[in-house]
Amino acid sequence: MDTITRRENILRAYRHQDPWFIPSPSDVDVCIPSVLEEGPTGIGRSQDGWGTWWLLLEGQPGPMPDESAPVVLEDITEWREVLHFPDVESYDWEKGAAEDTKDWDRENRISSCIIVNGMWERFDALCGFENALCNLIAEPEESFALMSALADHKIKYMEKIAKYYKPDKIVMHDDYGTEKAMFFNPDLWRELFKPNLKKIVDACHELGMIYEHHSCGYIVPILDDFIELGIDAWNPVQNPNQPLELLKKYKGKLTFVGGFNDRLFINPAATDAEKRASIDETVRAFGEAGCWNPYVTVSDDYAYYVKSRIYEFNKPKYDALGLTGPLYAPPSENEGPAKAVYETAETFKK
């Protein structure tokens, strides 16, 4: 029998095995490598290593390219001459890793490195969102070539991360959808994205790391492709995808990281009873299904309720396994919000 620890328990979930109990976001140590020049450098307006200008305002959920700034790549056919790919070899990886991982508990938790701005996110940041969509249709060959070069660059990141950070998993950020539909036709995604994403997933596995793909919005049409590519896990599994329905098809094939009805908690018409019932059903269904890491996307005032419901689900399992001590104690209302894995990352350099 495997050693029963919180670390091994969450690894079972990522290996598509049934964990002994529902894992916790606190079972993951996570960072965005501080050496990467992949986004804003702080609050306000700043430029990254690719030349893209970003806006990050106080209270804003996340950064966005500054639409008032000129795009880096106006003509995609000139990308080979125009683009400056940041020099991966010039970063002080050893120093960055030492600082970023100094508080990691590799004995009791798994470790994770996030790579923001995957192929599509970087592509649209360079071209501008509307131009990027037009490029996919008007210049598919050049779009594929640039996407391939961007994939190769991400693989260079992963090689350095594997060497210096030695995480259990990589999380690649690349949003593909709105709340209602994908940004592009799924067949176009299969033609231009899928072969390049396969390179990334295969490289991640060859480097001995789990591959988790972050993609917001509705992406159900390509989930079978995710399985085919060997993607291990997907987050945040937002509600437009009907997460509880997906359990019937993908249990044991794809680890879900998330799945709470986040839209309900920003709906002013939603009642307290509706919110609690939604949490109850998510914890029950995903807890019974197994391959789940409960990336918590409810509002802070319901975070303690989520933790309590997870504890109540886990308590009989803790007792049966003889697990006691602080790691298996009931939650405290004074602990603060049950932050999602990605909210605990040091996302932006200060």
**DSSP letter string over 90-108?**
GS-HHHHHHHHTTT--TTT
In a domain, 180, yes or no: yes
In a domain, 200, yes or no: yes
CB 201 within 8 A of CB 155: no
Residue 112 lies in domain: 32-235
In a domain, 193, yes or no: yes
In order along its 350 residues, the chain shows pLDDT tens digits of 577 899 999 999 999 999 999 998 889 999 999 999 998 888 889 999 999 999 988 877 788 898 999 999 999 999 999 999 999 999 999 999 999 999 999 999 999 999 999 999 999 999 999 999 999 999 999 999 999 999 999 999 999 999 999 999 999 999 999 999 999 999 999 999 999 999 999 999 999 999 999 999 999 999 999 999 999 999 999 999 999 999 889 989 999 999 999 889 989 999 999 999 999 999 999 999 988 999 888 888 999 999 999 999 999 999 999 999 999 999 987 665 555 444 444 454 44
CB 222 within 8 A of CB 182: yes
- Both tokens of residue 105? 């508990």
In a domain, 264, yes or no: no
CB 66 within 8 A of CB 47: no
Instruction: Please count the residues of the chain.
Output: 350
Single pTM value for the model: 0.94
In a domain, 272, yes or no: no
Buried b (16+ CB within 10 A) or exposed e, 217-236: bbbbbbbebbeebebbbbbb
Q: What is the CATH number of the domain that holds 108?
A: 3.20.20.210
CB 165 within 8 A of CB 113: yes
In a domain, 303, yes or no: no
Q: Position 153: which residue type?
A: H
In a domain, 342, yes or no: no
Give the count of domains, the chain: 1
In a domain, 197, yes or no: yes
Please give the Cα distance from 257 to 204 (Å, whole number): 18
List, edge to edge, every strand of the sheet that includes 210-214: 28-31, 110-115, 169-173, 210-214, 233-235, 255-257, 292-293
**Tokens 């098809």 identify what position?**
249
